[in-house]
Structure formats: C-alpha cells, structure tokens
Amino acid sequence: MGEHHLVSTEWPRSTRMLLGPNTVANSIGDIHRNKRKVFSKIFSHEALESYLPKIQLVIQDTLRAWSSYPEAINVYQEAQKLTFRMAIRVLLGFSIPEEDLGHLFEVYQQFVENVFSLPVDLPFSGYRRGIQARQTLQKGLEKAIREKLQCTQGKDYSDALDILIESSKEHGEEMTMQELKDGTLELIFAAYATTASASTSLIMQLLKHPAVLEKLREELRAQGILHSGGCPCEGTLRLSTLSGLHYLDCVIKEVMRLFTPVSGGYRTVLQTFELDGFQIPKGWSVMYSIRDTHDTAPVFKDVNVFDPDRFGQARSEDKDGRFHYLPFGGGVRTCLGKHLAKLFLKVLAVELASTSRFELATRTFPRITLVPVLHPVDGLSVKFFGLDSNQNKILPETEAMLSATV
C-alpha cells in the first residue's frame, strides 16, 4: 500500500529495456496513474462481455484440436499457444495468417525466455537475443496495427486495441505508434505466460482430483449448461451465467492460491520506514512474496491441500483480512487484467468439464518449477479425447478397432 511514497516498483534492467519505456509496468507516479486509467477500460464489464464469445470459440477450437491428436500433448506448451492466440486474435483483433502467427509465436517465446536475462549486451547473450526478438516483434506488430487501422469494416465487436485507442483519445492523450506497439506488446506479455501457467495448473488439478471435476459437472447440470445426458447445451456463455457458478469460482480461486503463477513483486525503498519493528533503509530493494503469503496465512486450514470448498459460503476462509489472498498482487499495482484472466480460466474449466475427457499420459505427475513462472518441469503430458453426445470418449479409429477386437 506504500507505492509512490514509501516504495516504488522495480523491475530488473533487462525487463525494463525489453518491455519498453511506455508500458504501465515501467511507469511511476502520475504517469502510472494516467496509464492505468487509459488501460482500465480494456477490462471493463462491457469489454469482457464482448470478448467472451470469442474467447469461448478459441478455447473450443483448441480443445477439438487437442482431442484430434493421436498422441498425448504437452499441456504447458499448448496452453502457451492458446493464450498467445487469444491475445492476438481476441484482445488485439489482428487478422494475421496462420503461418505468420506460428512464426510470431516462436519469436515471442524467444522474447519471453530472455526478458529476465542478465542485462549484458554481447553477441549470443540472452539479453541480445531478447533485443533482437523485440525488434522483430515490433515490426510485425506495427504492420498488424497499420493494417487494422486501415480496415475497420466487418467487425462485430470492439477489441482491446480499439478500446485502448479510443480511451487514450478520451483522456486527451492520443497514442503514438511507438506507444501502441509497446502497449500491445505489454498486453500480450500480461495475457501470455501467467495465464498459460494457471491453465496448466487447472488441468493438472482436475486430473488429480476427479471428485472436483464431477462436482463441477453437477453444478453445470444444475445451471442448465450441461444436460443430464451429458452433452453441453448450445449457445455461448454470458458473464451473468459464469457469475452464478459459485463452485467454479471456488475452483479457480483455489488453483490461484496453491499455484500462483508469479512469485511476488520487487520494490525500491523511497524513504526509510519500519515494518514489524524492523527498519527498512532508503535505497534498499525489497520483495513481497505472494506464494509465501498464501503458505503462511493463518486463515487457511491445511494449506497444502487442494480444497476449493475453503472458498465456499460455509467457510469463506479468504474473508478474514485483506492481505492473506493476493494472487494478482495488491494496491495500485494490482494486476489490471485479473478479471480477464479469471474469465479465461472459467471458460476453459467449463469447456473442459463439458466437452472433454483427458488422462495423464505418464505414470506420475511431474514436479513443479517456479521460474520464470510456475509450470510442470516436463510440461504435463496428457491425452485428450473427443466426446459423443452421451459424453463417451470417441477413440481414434485404430484404438476403436483394437477395443472391438478385444
């Protein structure tokens, strides 16, 4: 809560340079406040309602593709492709050809891999590779932005980039091309790695806890989203429908409590202050840990157990105190896109429960690493199956023949 007067945000130098000077993350003081006002419209209730049908379509198409693969998929890798596609197609509204999108994704991965590298600008260094990836991305983004600005016909909704441009005009600060490029790069960065991490954690927990998945299906049946026979109801989801799914909300909250994608936040001390009897000197670097906060918060019982019901009305373990549960940070630096992230995870969970069957393709679950964001070491190998109208697995032709023979 001391941002701007006790502490100031501090990203590593390589991150500041690679993300660019015009981003919300790198701005401080009044500039930060003004940028948040401009960007906040992207995540308004009306904006989320307009993104929702597009997000659902992208997720449905992706799950169909996963079910069509004869082999198991690497969930973390595929989740990264899914969130990147969502950012490019839905948030930014870019009509980039599939082949170019694949190339852009590879360049973007190189960018993300080096965004926390040592800021040493030497040939073959990670930092240099990050700079080269940023330059390539900015060229591609500028081309896509210019094409988008010239072609405004045939659109059935306002995407985040449309809203961003309009919002900046309303606040009397029309954005330059460089600011638009930095803004779009930051939006992709914010929507990409953390959401892919959380999506992978969600799938892993549904695999580990089939009773949770079945309870989720029961809620979908009770709300008319899933017929008692098993097949999903036709039609797109609405925000009002999702807000009525209380157990789903508990599941997403518990995933974000146990498997927060980001470890915490870094700050520089602007003036000496005291914290619990300890003096924190001016000029020091400090870090608050989201993960340790969740692990040690006294309000949570059996902290290592995956238990969505802890967030249900009967227990409401997160209601006592403001700072025990903060998967999206807190204060004026709270994640701007947290409602979009939760919306994406809820739609993914609904589609997984309604239209998919999936099985772990390895004997044991992989161990978890925390850098650069939380993810399974081997990416999580899972076999997905399509479903018929009775929610029975549709086996690939060869498997179906073998089953019939047996």
pLDDT tens per residue, range 182-199: 999 999 998 899 999 999
CA distances from 204 to 163, 303, 330 (A): 35, 18, 27
- Residue 312 inside a domain? The answer is yes
- Residue 255 inside a domain? The answer is yes
CATH of the domain at 229: 1.10.630.10
Q: pLDDT for 11-27, tens place per residue? A: 888 998 999 888 998 88
Boundaries of domain holding 316? 7-402
Q: What is the mean pLDDT of the chain?
A: 91
- Residue 353 inside a domain? The answer is yes
- Residue 338 inside a domain? The answer is yes
- Residue 2 inside a domain? The answer is no
Label residue 301 left, alpha or beta by phi (over 0 means left) and psi (-120 to 50 means alpha). Answer: beta
- Residue 230 inside a domain? The answer is yes
Q: pLDDT for 342-392, tens place per residue? A: 999 999 999 999 999 999 999 999 999 998 899 999 999 999 997 754 556
Residue the block writes with tokens 């340790």: 292
- Residue 11 inside a domain? The answer is yes
CA distance linking residue 210 with residue 353, whole number of Å: 11
Identify the residue with better confidence: 323 or 372: 323
pLDDT value at residue 320: 82
- 335 a known binding residue? yes
- How many Cα neighbours within 13 Å face the side chain of 125? 13
Q: pLDDT for 210-224, tens place per residue? A: 999 999 999 999 999
Q: How many domains, the chain? A: 1
pLDDT value at residue 229: 55
Is pTM beyond 0.85? Reply is yes
- Residue 1 inside a domain? The answer is no
Q: pLDDT for 38-82, tens place per residue? A: 899 999 999 999 999 999 999 999 999 999 999 999 999 999 999
Look at residue 200 and tell me whether its pLDDT is greater than 80.
yes
Q: b/e string for 17-40 if b means 16 or more Cβ within 10 A?
A: bbbbebbbbbbeeeebebbeebbe
Of 105-109, 127-131, 148-152, 361-365, the poorest mean pLDDT is in: 148-152
Find out whether 168 and 176 touch, Cβ atoms under 8 Å. Answer: no
Q: pLDDT for 238-296, tens place per residue? A: 999 999 999 999 999 999 999 999 999 989 999 999 999 999 999 999 999 999 999 99
